Amino acid sequence: MEATIKETLITPYDSEDVQIAICAAMQMTRTFREDFCILTDLRVVKLRDADEPPLEIIRYNHEDEWRYD
């Protein structure tokens, strides 16, 4: 039973696709000044619009706002 659950939760991704998703999420966070997340199918969406638990959350750091002006 436990092995089946682990196999279901672990989905292999191409590492280049993951890197692209992370870079896209970071850039969108800086551009829109909002929190974004990466979903299980590697879509990047606003955290408030996520319709499923995210794989990763990229938070906007309001203290670093001066860097992006």
Per residue in 1-37, pLDDT tens?
Answer: 455 544 555 567 778 899 999 999 999 999 999 999 9
Answer whether 11's CB lies under 8 Å from 42's CB: no
The backbone torsions φ and ψ at residue 25, rounded to the nearest 5 degrees and listed phi first, read -65, -40
67 lies in some domain: no
Task: Name the residue range of residue 47's domain.
Answer: 2-62
The pLDDT of residue 1: 47
Per-residue pLDDT, 42: 92
Query: From CA 34, how far away is CA 46, in angstroms rounded?
Result: 7
Which contiguous run of DSSP H or E holds residue 68? none
Letter for the amino acid at 55?
L
42 occurs within a structural domain = yes
- Report how many domains make up the chain: 1
The single-letter code of the amino acid at 16 is E
* Residue owning tokens 């696709």: 17
